[in-house]
Amino acid sequence: MKQQLKIKSDRYFPVRTITVITIMLSFIAIMSSAFETKEAFTSKDVTNDHIVKDSVESVKAFMQVYKVLMSPRCMNCHPSGDIPLQGDDSHIHTMLPKRGKDGKGLYAMKCTNCHQPENTVGIHMPPGSPAWHLPPSNMKMVFQGRTPNQLAKQLVDPKRNGNKSMAQLLAHADDALVMVGWDPGEGRSLPPMTHAEFKKEWTTWINNGAYAPKP
Amino acid sequence: MITLNINKKTYNVDVNPDTPLLWVLRDTLGLVGTKYGCGVAQCGACVVHLNGEAVRSCVTKAKRAEGQKVVTIEGLSENNDHPLQKAWIEMDVPQCGYCQSGQLMSAAVLLRENPNPTDQDIDDAMNGNICRCGTYLRIRKAIHLAAEMKRKGI
């Protein structure tokens, strides 16, 4: 009998070990899962708290946004080269002023040497704003030549959009220099929609997930 | 009444604040070294320094200059001895001379920010100053000479 009990005890010993290991593993799994859940929630909370993702609405809105961004009033200061564009035909700016490191021009050819804090009166006179400039040389934020797909992706990439968050991107619609596009001075066409319409499309694009149209 | 600091002197001028600075300089104060060329910020004949920057005075309103530091060609140096002025004479740069005060004021900003400019730097700085006589090559040489004079302390 004693022999039988010993055999039985030997046979059940691994079961208890397995039970202990199982309990420990379960505890670890529960703890890990708890951390994972918290992290996911935090991430979602920070980046997507107000975003209702709708790729169709988002892309539709961006195609309207794109028409404005590619109009001369926006694109002329987002050139592919280092010289701004000018006029409704987006020709190279007369006098060939260059971007410079900070986007404000070079030497005797700084933007605000001609562009005053406000529009200068008269047809084709220099339009104005207190901080007239191009994007800086280390982040050129080119619009010229970009497809809708390329431009949408560029606009939401902080490494290519001037380090802007989504909130800053939304606010950029009301930037003083952006607003000049709708008050460009005599002799220049306006963007293809009002600023209010543009802002609505811009906001719809971003708040629906800032999707890029297909390439 | 607007208070202007021009060539280290203070002037109180009774002008409309929207009057172009060029008009105030020439017509109100008699500082006629700065020239009227195009009146639309295209030629550079009217360049003066506003806080050290080469602004076009034909489109710069007097109110923008209020309380700021303005320097015209008359104030570029005490005795017409700025290295650029000496180099301009040495190289016999001017032909008709009309654009030259604007050229000098623009070149002065270039040399202040880049004491050893290349031909490309000179073009980048001077593209906005038009010379109907086509003295561009002599202007370029004179700027190089002035840079050298400045480096040598001449």
The structural architecture, per CATH, of the domain B83-152 is Orthogonal Bundle (1.10)
**Cβ contacts (< 8 Å) between A130 and chain B: which residues?**
none
Could you say which DSSP state residue A163 is in? Answer: S
Query: Which pLDDT value is given to residue A23?
Result: 67
**Cβ contacts (< 8 Å) between B64 and chain A: which residues?**
116-117
In this structure, is the dihedral angle defined by the CA atoms of residues A74, A75, A81 and A83, taken in order, positive or negative?
Answer: negative
Residue scoring higher pLDDT (A148 or A19): A148
Q: How far apart are CA A136 and CA A162, in angstroms?
A: 9
Could you say which DSSP state residue A19 is in? Answer: H
> How far is the alpha carbon of A79 from chain B, nearest alpha carbon, in Å?
17
Query: Which pLDDT value is given to residue A32?
Result: 45
Residue of A nearest to B50 (CA): A113
Q: In what order do the strands lie in the sheet with B69-71?
A: B9-13, B2-6, B69-71, B47-50, B53-56
pLDDT one-digit tens code per residue, B53-112: 999 999 999 999 999 999 999 999 999 999 999 999 999 999 999 999 999 999 999 999
pLDDT interval class at A38 (50, 70, 90): very low
Residue among B41, B53, B60 minimizing CB distance to A110: B53
Assess A185–B contact: CB distance below 8 Å, yes or no: no
Query: Which pLDDT value is given to residue A108?
Result: 98
CB contact under 8 A, A107 and B41: no
Q: How far apart are CA B76 and CA B83, in angstroms?
A: 10
As separate numbers, helices (DSSP H) first and strands (DSSP E) second, chain B gives 6, 5
Q: Are strands B69-71 and B2-6 parallel, antiparallel or unpaired?
A: parallel
Residue ranges of domains in chain B: 2-75, 83-152
Query: Which pLDDT value is given to residue B154?
Result: 79
pLDDT interval class at A20 (50, 70, 90): low
CB contact under 8 A, B106 and A107: yes
Task: Considering only CA atoms, give the Rg of chain A.
Answer: 29
Cα separation values, B63 from A46, B4, B17, B104, Å: 46, 9, 5, 25
Provide the mean pLDDT of chain B. Answer: 97
Provide the mean pLDDT of chain A. Answer: 85
Q: Is B13 helix (H, G, I), strand (E, B) or coil?
A: strand
pLDDT interval class at A214 (50, 70, 90): very high
CB contact under 8 A, B64 and A116: yes
Assess B126–A contact: CB distance below 8 Å, yes or no: yes
Residue among B56, B61, B110 minimizing CB distance to A114: B56
Query: Which pLDDT value is given to residue A17?
Result: 61
Report DSSP letters for B96-131, one per residue.
S-TTHHHHHHHHHHHHHH-SS--HHHHHHHHTT---
Assess A123–B contact: CB distance below 8 Å, yes or no: no
Structure ipTM: 0.96
Q: Are strands B47-50 and B9-13 parallel, antiparallel or unpaired?
A: unpaired
Residue among B61, B64, B109 minimizing CB distance to A108: B109
- Paired tokens of A174: 């009301």
Q: Which of A101, A113, A119 is the best mutation test for B, with the most CBs of B within 10 A? A: A113
**Cβ contacts (< 8 Å) between A124 and chain B: which residues?**
40
Q: Which of A111, A114, A118 is the best mutation test for B, with the most CBs of B within 10 A? A: A114
CB contact under 8 A, B41 and A126: yes
Residue of B nearest to A121 (CA): B59
Mean pLDDT to the nearest integer, A141-160: 98
Give ∠ CA B25-A98-B112 in degrees, rounded to 5.
55
Q: What's the farthest any 2 CA atoms get from each other in chain B?
A: 46
Q: How far apart are CA A210 and CA A47, in angstroms?
A: 12
Crossing angle of helices B136-152/B100-113, nearest 10°? 40
Residue among B64, B105, B127 minimizing CB distance to A117: B64
Query: Which pLDDT value is given to residue A49?
Result: 53
**Cβ contacts (< 8 Å) between B105 and chain A: which residues?**
108
Q: How far apart are CA A66 and CA B10, in angstroms?
A: 51
Assess B58–A contact: CB distance below 8 Å, yes or no: no
Please state which CATH number belongs to domain B2-75: 3.10.20.30
